[in-house]
Chain A
Amino acid sequence: AQKVTQAQTEISVVEKEDVTLDCVYETRDTTYYLFWYKQPPSGELVFLIRRNSFDEQNEISGRYSWNFQKSTSSFNFTITASQVVDSAVYFCALSEAYNNAGNMLTFGGGTRLMVKP
């Protein structure tokens, strides 16, 4: 069965600090997809990134970067020079290519990031 673990339930940083959110996953499939979503205080879920299991290249988008390592089953998310607007709950999610429930996403428990000015 697939499982996603976000061990950090809350992280507090001061603005301009770098912060890394950890995500560890479990799956028996060799083909799967990993996602990060952001949930700001307003409550909606915002898609950030999708990564497939065959692409281990790191990705950078502005201040955001993602490090995917199959050897450790991790898909970590780093925010560089954090800002107050980055304060949110961040979810890591996994989708197996051949699961039975459509395109079911399995979510981690989320990490609440608080960026203080």
Chain B
Amino acid sequence: DAGITQSPRHKVTETGTPVTLRCHQTENHRYMYWYRQDPGHGLRLIHYSYGVKDTDKGEVSDGYSVSRSKTEDFLLTLESATSSQTSVYFCAISESRTSTDTQYFGPGTRLTVL
């Protein structure tokens, strides 16, 4: 199994509060991704990173920001959480950007915004 951890694993927060989710990898992979999983939508890409301090937007990036100050850590921040951001968040890693590379996923973080 790829060495990917996510913290926290569960979080309940209130509307309007900031929330930061952390993804940590021990594989030294260059690419890291944040997805959200919602019923009927599968997983959708929020942001991704292609190196330290190099990030870009995905399909559903509104309301989210990311940072990557070290190869092993990729942070996802909800500046002001809304109920529509209640979801399960998955981090993924891959060795390169080529489509031949498989993405491996972390265990997920279940976030509830009340």
Q: Which residues in A have their C-beta under 8 angstroms from that of B41?
A: 107, 109
Q: Which of A14-22, A60-68, A95-103 contacts B (4 or more CB under 8 A)?
A: A95-103
Q: How many residues of A contact B (CB 8 A)?
A: 28
A41 beta carbon closer than 8 Å to chain B: no
Chain B binder among A45-53, A70-78, A79-87: A45-53
A9 to B40, alpha carbons, bound, how many Å?
Answer: 8
B48 and A102: CB pair below 8 A?
yes
Instruction: Please give, as numbers and ranges, the residues of chain B lying within 8 Å of A13 by CB-CB distance.
Output: none
Measured CA separation A31–B98 after assembly (Å): 11
B62 on interface, CB distance cutoff 8 Å: no
B89-108 contact mask (Cβ, 8 Å, vs A): 1 or 0: 01010101111111111011
B contact patch SS: strand
Q: For B101, give the chain A residue with the smallest CB separation.
A: A103
Q: A117 at interface (Cβ–Cβ under 8 A)?
A: no
Query: In angstroms, how far is the closest chain B Cβ from the Cβ of A61?
Result: 15
Which listed residue (B43, B97, B108) contacts A105, Cβ 8 A? B43
B44 within 8 A of A: yes
Known: A102-B56, A107-B43, A109-B40. 11 other contacts (CB 8 A): A43-B88, A43-B107, A45-B105, A50-B100, A91-B42, A95-B99, A97-B99, A101-B57, A103-B97, A103-B101, A109-B41
